[in-house]
Structure 1
Amino acid sequence: MKKYLALFLTSILIFSLFLVGCGNKTNKGNGKTEVSKSNQGDRYLFTANEGGSISKISLNEQKVLSNFKFDGAVHNIQVSPDGKVVAATVVPEMMHGHDKSMDMKGKAIFFDPYKDKMIKEVEVGNHPAHIVFTENGKYVLVTNNEDNTVSVIDAKNYAMVKTIPTGKGPHGLRISKDSQFAYVANMGEDTVSVLNLQILKEEKKIKVGETPVTTGITTDGKTLVVTLNKENALAIVNLASGKVDKVKVGNGPAQVYIGTGDQFAYVANQGTEDAPSHSITKVDLKSLQVVATIETGKGSHGVVTSPDNKFTYATNMFDDTLNVIDNSQNKVIKTINVGKTPNGISIMP
């Protein structure tokens, strides 16, 4: 873990990722997974755990149903728009041990969330970070942090379509609702790469501030939000005018998620392992004001809201938990133990 942390801090400035052990009840993530006995009518939430697993959580029962083990660090996870496929990025074991003599590419893995069955593994670039489906179901995009590229995968047959150069240290990304543009946070510089998905090319870069980690885009495609890890701020960009406003949040912000209706952005404040943050900052995107600071577990990293906006879910990297937050009360109502060092998070639509 410490070797991984040291290299990550060197290669992409100050942001902390930690790779350790693994989870509870497990199924192997090698194509030999067992079929879950869970209710087929249930909906699920998934966490990507840097310790080498994916946790599958029942939203009905609010408990972990299973943990799937992988050889490597599972960094980010996303459910497809139709809810039928779950995709995740995996950094191989030798790679996150950082033996540079072994040039091991990362993987994007795809599996069936109901049958708990592996569909496909796709080799991508070095140190894959985030993975996102386009809303139209055409592509899956993966940021390759150490290669300064984005891999474009066909979402139907899982073939590699193209590799697009970006800025330095691409990390979190989101795609516009119309599937026309991807917005990639470049952690190694102060920019967001705007990728035109019609021509599969970087169209421009937007300067946003120090150490951008992840992005979010409103449904109308007019407002971009970006967490600025080094500035402890959320950048809010008017894409028409280019104006950038900044709202102070907690220490070391990691992921951001815009809730249904585009009213609020929820920022997970991670901090560092030595000085972990433990909050979610709720920002009103119209008034550009913080409306709530919600106490969480240690090192909040991943964040997502339920489609009905009733709940927010946040992963806590340094205590291996998931918080369930009631959005009407702006408070944690349940804490669930998940796999080791939970990072990314995604919910069924």
Structure 2
Amino acid sequence: MKILTNLLRSGVAALAIASAAGAAHAQTVDVPLTESGSSLLYPLFNLWVASYSASHPGADITTTSTGSGAGIAQSIKGLVQIGASDAYLSDTMVKKNPTMMSIPLAISSQAVNYNLPGISHLNLSGPILAGIYEGKITQWNDPAIVAANPGVSLPNHVIIPVHRLDGSGDTFIFSQYLAFSTPEWASTLHYGTTISWPAVPGALGGNGNSGVLAAVKANPYSLGYIGVSYADKAAAAGLGVAALQNKHGEYVLPTDETIAAAAQSVATTTPADERVSMIFAEGANAYPIVNYEYAIVNSTQPAPALASAIHDFLTWAINEGNSPTFLKPVHFLPLPAAVKTLSQAQIDKIQ
């Protein structure tokens, strides 16, 4: 009788534990999550959060555009659960923060937009852009720009370069393009989310993609680098999109085909931690400024319910969230199958 009583007590206890665990899992959607970072990813996150919240009653996700640099820093400090970034974590950051992960969620690109009255097509290269941002190429009819644009009547007017003021993944990938294509830039200014921009007379700065777009729109004869999720706004502002010279010497525009060509050339060589650049990728038709959009996440969370909530949302993002319904409005492309598998493996480490 005593044995039976003990067995019954053990069974009740086991059921209570199982019930508690089930309740904890059921409550994960009620755990508040905060995403902060990339202004390039911000429009997509807004679409994701609205749909995810509608299909997951009780989901509580806040998303803000602070720039990739801030998103990375806040995620590392534990101030937010998801740091959105166009840039992956550097080797130094990973060494200092071994539990932090860079998880690709989708594929995006960046345009170089210009405000040149009467110019409908413009070819630019990494060395030309490096010269502009260094202050060595100052006029639109500079011989280097003329040579890249045969038959185009370029104005005798000072170029107004616009750059990001905030720590930015857009600056990271733009400066990578300059560094990978221009040895002088690589040896002096390098690349990163922040750059010590040379003092160029008339140069302007803007916060976020919206700030750069506004500055280029307001200043004829200017140009700036703007994330592709702002392509529709740039077009509405009357800004042109430059064809950029790729690794094979071809001038290509950012289209689904040219972006996919760059992504496919890197997909099979993406490492398990997924920290890899797609800038200046191989391929005759590859657009040269293409990148993974990252969630910067700590694999070790302070509570199981929080880990579960992050895991579930990111899993949804790389599956349902990679559908054309969400990606087309912001001109993103879905992760290749092999890369999605790698992202899921990283997401599954969150605990």
- Range of TM-score over shorter length: under 0.3
More strand by share: 1
How does the TM-score come out when normalised to structure 2? 0.28
Higher relative contact order (CA 8 A, sep 6+): 2
